Amino acid sequence: MTENGSRRATGRYGAPVMVDVAALAGVSYQTVSRVINDQPGVRATTRERVLAAMRELGYRPSTVARSLASGRTRTIGVVAIGSALYGPATTLRGVETAIRDAGYSVSTESLSRFDRTSALTSVERMTTAGVEGIVAIDPEVDAAAALRALPPGVPMMVLCGGLDAVAAGIEIDGNEGSQGAVRHLLDLGHPTVRHLAGPLRWEAARSRMEGWRTALEAAGAPVDEPLQGDWSARSGYAAGRVLAADPDVSAVFAANDQMAIGLLLALHEAGRAVPGDVSVIGFDDIPEAAYLIPPLTTLRQDLVDEGRRAVAMLLSQVEHPTTEPVPVRMVPDLIVRASTGRYTPGGIRK
């Protein structure tokens, strides 16, 4: 006994073990095991006595032991591109938080390149480790196709920023959102809209470019070759210098806000006013978008809600294996700010 009357832990390294809990609660080792693993056959008063002993001793059940006893790990694997970019990082935070809030553990693997080989290797490694479900965030196009083609096994959600016919999960429809952004600029009188695309090995970049093209073609507007960026402000700045040198450019849709930020700087340095000479729209609505000069018109996607919904759908399959996932489509909202204005020959008027 300790000086205050409680029992001293006798486990390895001084940490309390199940035998200590059983002794303090006055029950058998097997009863403690049944309480820890939430098994039937334990009276409510006995269960409370065991839980009280666990609290008094500061006992924490071994995850490994619980897994062996229950046959479940209650762990969800998350595979994501290791990036500080707003979209992937925000989605990852939302997914991890939702998993933990549901009472599951998270095993996250960050990849420097989320291509087909690394995706399949990560899934195999996580499956071997016994995860009960997997969330894949922003795989490249070939990786997403490979993951969806895997035979039925561990439930999986693939979040890739686009909506297609085989997607069974939560998807933000970048195609439809991008069409809305382009229509907004065309409605302001712009004869056409140039596009600063993201890297096309990502579905998000492809879907946004396709939406841009679809809207222009539907309106009968000219479709110029898009410029290619890599999601970074630096690439947006490089493309912006090219666009700023073309006097016919009056409107640009950038595939994300970071590239739009670089574009704004390039236009400013070239003496092209925004929106006086060129209107600009981004995608994501990063927290800084409303505080740029000028505040950025952009498409807002609720990445945290996307992650939360995806986890809820995945856990539904984990708990009820016969559940068939139903794709959920989320369309980004156009947030109109001061970086877009009405076009008139010879200039733009707000």
Taking only the tens place, the pLDDT of each residue in 286-321 is: 999 999 999 999 999 988 888 888 899 899 988 888
Segment 91-96 mean pLDDT: 92
* Inter-residue contact 232 to 259 (CB < 8 Å): yes
The Cβ of residue 110 has, within 10 Å, a number of other Cβ atoms equal to 15
Whose CA is closest to 160, among 182, 143, 179? 143
Residue 154, φ and ψ in degrees, nearest 5: -70, 130
This prediction's pTM: 0.77
* Inter-residue contact 169 to 313 (CB < 8 Å): yes
Per-residue pLDDT tens over the stretch 41-79: 888 899 899 989 988 888 876 555 555 555 678 899 999
258 has a pLDDT exceeding 90 = yes
Domains with residue ranges and CATH for the chain = 12-70 (1.10.260.40), 75-172+302-332 (3.40.50.2300), 174-301+334-349 (3.40.50.2300)
